[in-house]
Each structure stands twice: as C-alpha cells, then as structure tokens.
Structure 1
Amino acid sequence: MPIDAAKALAAEPRSGQITWDHKDVQLYHLGIGAGRPATDPDELRYTLESRLHVLPSFATVAGNGAPGVISGLSMPGIEVDLARVLHGGQLLTVHRPIPAEGTATATNRIAAVYDKVKAAILVLRTEVADADGPLWTNDAQIFLRGEGGFGGDRGPSTRLEPPAGEPDRTVERAVREDQALLYRLCGDWNPLHADPEFAKLAGFDRPILHGLCTYGITLKAVVDTLLDGDVTRVRSYVTRFAGVVYPGETLRIRMWRTPGAIRVAVSAVRGTDDAPVLADTVVEHS
C-alpha cells in the first residue's frame, strides 16, 4: 500500500542546518516582483541591503525550502509517484521577525495524513529555530492523486465562507514574462515553470508560475496596502492553491478587513478572466 499513515506519522523527524543572507532575501523579493519602480523608497526596503526588511513568506524558500517537501515525500510509509503530487495549500506561522541573515535548524516531519478516498493529503511540517528560539513553522499541504482509500481520517475542511460585501481594497499586480525564471533561482527547479515541452506534457499551454511565487506576491500586496509596509506585523498566512497563473498575466488581489479582528481575508484571481488562483486565504497580523 503506497500510504502507511501510522508508519509515516511515527517516523523520526529529519533535521538539518539552513543558512541565508541578504542576497538570498533580495533575490526572493525580486522573484516575487519587488523593485518596481526601482527607486521607490517603499520598494528599496525589499531590494537594498542597507534598508532590508524580510517579507515573512521568504520562509518558504530560506535554505532553498523545497528540499523540506522532497524530504517529507521520502519519509517511511510514503511511496508516491511525483507526477501525482500537487501542492494544495500552505500555512506559515511567524514566531518572530525573520532576520536578513541567519543560521538555523530546520526540522521536517509528517504532521498529518488525511484520506480523501480518491486522494491523500500529507501535511509536511517544517519547524525552524535558531540560537534564540523558534523562528517560523511551515505546513505544506501536499495532495497525492490516486493515493487515498486506505481507511484513514478524512481530516478537517479548509474551506472558508466567502467574505461578505465589497472588498476594502483591490490591487492589481502584473506578473513579468520572466517571473518564473527568476523565482526558480530561489531553489524550486521544477521544469514545469521553465520548459514549454515539459509544461505541455503536464497539460498546460506553457510554463506556469510557481504557486509559492503567487503566495509571496499576494502577501506583499497585503503588507504594502493594509499593514503600512510593516513586515513584522504578519503573524500567520494561510492559503489554498486554487488555480494557475501564467507569466505575463495580471493578478487581481482583493482584501477584506474582518471587523473586530486582526485579520485580512484575501482572494487572488487572474485579471483576464477572474479565475481563482488563491482561495481560503487569511493573513493574521498585529
């Protein structure tokens, strides 16, 4: 049986050291579209090392974050065809502001296995801490097509009620033609995002943008628009990946403040046809 949930959940966590510096942070920020206009003071805090602030979603690539997912898929009890793997959602919890350079220990484990009958969902948890304590926790929800039906827990529903009323703010972000080529330098070398022939084999007209790139673009829009550009106010950020974006398209990002709460509900759609890209998305903040 491809999925042995008990074995996977009982597996020993895997730990390793990760490091990053200001160049990694700057590259990530450029990879999600920062620096336009290049001399704008609000953009220089993302691109100039003497003013650098770290957008919390950098945590998804710090130390070339992709190996955490690959490590999880090779855990005991998990034997899957990578062609059946989809990134279904992401939850980032920030324990304190991320420094522009650092060395930390990343610990990966399978936190949950859910049986959706026609598919399985793995929750791959990465906990990162440095000498001063916890920095962040990443939960990647990995959707495994055709791997369900093993009699396990179906898990909680992640669907949220759509926000009511008109959004408080709506912004558009143009995605550069070369955005995926730049973003993949952060560590995700999947040819789906660069090779037209590979993309066609996967069922797409052309290479698509990384879901985590859209994730970063959207968080930056929320921080810049509703949080006064203060990256340290972000406490958590959750989303479900609902569709794809092609480089060269435009993202339309809608934001709803939740009355009486420190959270922002967000939706991201393609500007061309309003097709959902990110759904069930919430940014919690101070």
Structure 2
Amino acid sequence: MAINYDTLMSLKAEGQEFSYGDRETMLYALGIGFGRDPMDEKELPFVYEKNLKTVPTLATVIAWGAGAIGDSGINYAMVVHGEQKLKLYKPLPVAAKITTDSRVVGAWDKGEGKGAIIVTETNIAEKGGDKLCTLTSTIFARGDGGFGGPREGAPAPHTLPDRAPDMSIDAQTLPDQALLYRLSGDRNPLHSDPEFAKAVGFPKPILHGLCTYGTCCRAIISDVLNYDPTQITGFDVRFSAPVFPGDTVTVDVWKDKDVISFRARVKERDAVVINNGKCTLKG
C-alpha cells in the first residue's frame, strides 16, 4: 500500500497510557553500558535502586510502540531510523505512569526510488501531571518515494564546530549488548537473529541505533558532566551507519557554553555512525 500524503499527515494517537518502574530504568542503563564495573561508585546509582538516577535517553523506551505510524502504509522492511531528538522539561522520574500524544509533523518525498522522510512527534507526560519530554523521530522510508509529497523543507541537522574536537571518549560495546538492550522494547530480529540479519544485507545482527544513541549519552554523562544527568535538557542526533555489538564507539566532543556538539565513530572501521549530535544543557 502506497503512502497517501493527506492520510499520513492526519495520523495521530492521543491519550495512550504506559508505565515503567525502577526495573526498566536500571535495565535500560545496563543496556547502554552503565555498571560494567560494579565497584564504581559513580556508575552504581544508575543501576542500583539505592539513590537511583535516570539517564535522559531512557525517554526513548518508556513509551515503546506509541503513535499511529503503523497505519501510514510504508514498507517497514525498507525503513531505517534517520534522526532522533529529545527535549526534556524536567528530569525523568525513576518510575511513573505516563500518557502520550503522538502525531506526524512532516513528510518529504525524495522521488521515485529515492525514498521518503517522515517526522513524528510524541509528547510524554506523567499521568494527570507534568509534561516530561518531547520525542521527535525521523525515519527514512527507502521504499516509499514518489508519493507526491513536498520535495523541499525537511529540517536541517545541527552543524558541528569547524575545529578539532575538545576531547574524544572511547565507549566499548559488548558482543551481547544488543541482546540485553532489546529487553527495553525493540525486539526487531535484525538485532538478534543472524539469519534475519543476513537476509536483509548485514553479515550479522547490528546494534540498535537508539542503543548507540544512549551509549553517546552515557559517555557525555560520565566524561563531560561528572555523572550529573540532570544537566541535560536536549539530546539530538543523526544516524549515519550501523554499529556491530563489540565495536568501540569513539565519541568526539565539542563544548561551547550550554551546548555539547558530538559525533560518534567506530574505530575498527573508521566509520561515522552518529553525526550532527547536539546535547543541550541547562542555561
């Protein structure tokens, strides 16, 4: 079924309810690499219920499956995650009942055989309480170009500074990391099933893009923010290449007042896997 532009732009889902507890908060932190050294007193609060802290990028999994993009008509076998943005209005609680309002906010036609760009927005609030965050997600539907939508006007990514990075942080992923991270919500077999991965063109299962996203956040929290995640009010990236479990992800960082710009590279292949990163801090 081909995309119908008017139908796509009308898609929304309001008042969906979800909940998460400290178990999910700790599992997510373990899935992006916190707690590798159980004796590290700075990392322990992310993976132990005593004085538990939340990682801001936890927001991407607490309402997994929210929205109505499944009714869009796109070919999901040809979809890749293009960009992820997060805006936080307050630090995430360690456990909460939440509601979500989701809608499609933009769609751009790259042309027949060139794919489509679709942007969705999800607002998450505590049930009966404060707004927590806004997630903006861009998908590249490789098989759905030529539907007649606008060609120009897609959002431009954050521009990295034109100077050498102020620092570079090595973040090691583990061979079993995708198997652990998938327990936070994304059960796509591309990240767990070797036969499925080969069938869609990969030599083996790849790490979730949002796991790499969280890994970058972990690196910035630990090496730039002295383990204080409450400083972060925004976290935006563009995905540019896959990571395989076990890769070393090197995060290049530029610090300019309340904006941390970053990109991530895989050392072994010299491939940029996340680009145009922007971590916004409290002013």
TM superposition score category, shorter chain reference = over 0.9
1:168 counterpart residue number: 166
Give the Cα–Cα distance (whole angstroms) in 2 for the partners of residues 156 and 107 of structure 1.
Answer: 22
Uncovered stretches (5+) of structure 1, i.e. residues with no partner: none
TM normalised by structure 1 equals 0.93
CA root-mean-square deviation: 1.5
Give the Cα–Cα distance (whole angstroms) in 1 for the partners of residues 275 and 11 of structure 2.
Answer: 32
Farther off after superposition, 81-90 or 147-156? 147-156
Uncovered stretches (5+) of structure 2, i.e. residues with no partner: none
Which amino acid in structure 2 is aligned with residue 252 of structure 1? T
Partners of 2:106 and 2:118 within 8 A in 1: yes
Per-residue deviation at 1:190?
0.6
2:145 counterpart residue number: 148
Higher helix share: 1
1:273 matches 2:273: no
Partners of 1:115 and 1:155 within 8 A in 2: no
Per-residue deviation at 1:6?
1.9
1:61-100 correspondence to structure 2 within 5 Å:
61-63=61-63, 65=64, 67-68=65-66, 71-75=67-71, 78-100=72-94
2:125 counterpart residue number: 129
> Which runs of at least 4 in structure 1 moved beyond 6 Å after TM superposition?
none
Partners of 2:12 and 2:102 within 8 A in 1: no
2:205 counterpart residue number: 207
Give the Cα–Cα distance (whole angstroms) in 2 for the partners of residues 231 and 143 of structure 1.
Answer: 30
Q: For residues 12 and 179 of structure 1, do their structure 2 counterparts lie closer, same or farther at Cα, with a shift above 3 Å needed?
A: closer
3-state SS of paired residue (1:42): coil
Give the Cα–Cα distance (whole angstroms) in 2 for the partners of residues 85 and 155 of structure 1.
Answer: 21
1:119 matches 2:111: no
Q: For residues 127 and 157 of structure 1, do their structure 2 counterparts lie closer, same or farther at Cα, with a shift above 3 Å needed?
A: closer
Give the Cα–Cα distance (whole angstroms) in 2 for the partners of residues 234 and 124 of structure 1.
Answer: 22
Per-residue deviation at 1:12?
4.2
Farther off after superposition, 1-10 or 88-97? 1-10
1:163-202 correspondence to structure 2 within 5 Å:
163-202=161-200
Q: 2:281 aligns with which of 277, 281, 285?
A: 285
Partners of 1:109 and 1:125 within 8 A in 2: yes
Which amino acid in structure 2 is aligned with residue 105 of structure 1? T
Q: For residues 12 and 193 of structure 1, do their structure 2 counterparts lie closer, same or farther at Cα, with a shift above 3 Å needed?
A: closer
1:33 counterpart residue number: 33
How many residues are paired up?
278
Q: For residues 106 and 249 of structure 1, do their structure 2 counterparts lie closer, same or farther at Cα, with a shift above 3 Å needed?
A: same
Give the Cα–Cα distance (whole angstroms) in 1 for the partners of residues 104 and 15 of structure 2.
Answer: 13
Structure 1, residues 80-131: CA drift from partner, whole Å, max 9, x if none? 2210111111001111110001001012211111122221111121111113
Farther off after superposition, 219-228 or 207-216? 219-228
TM normalised by structure 2 equals 0.94
- State the identity %: 36
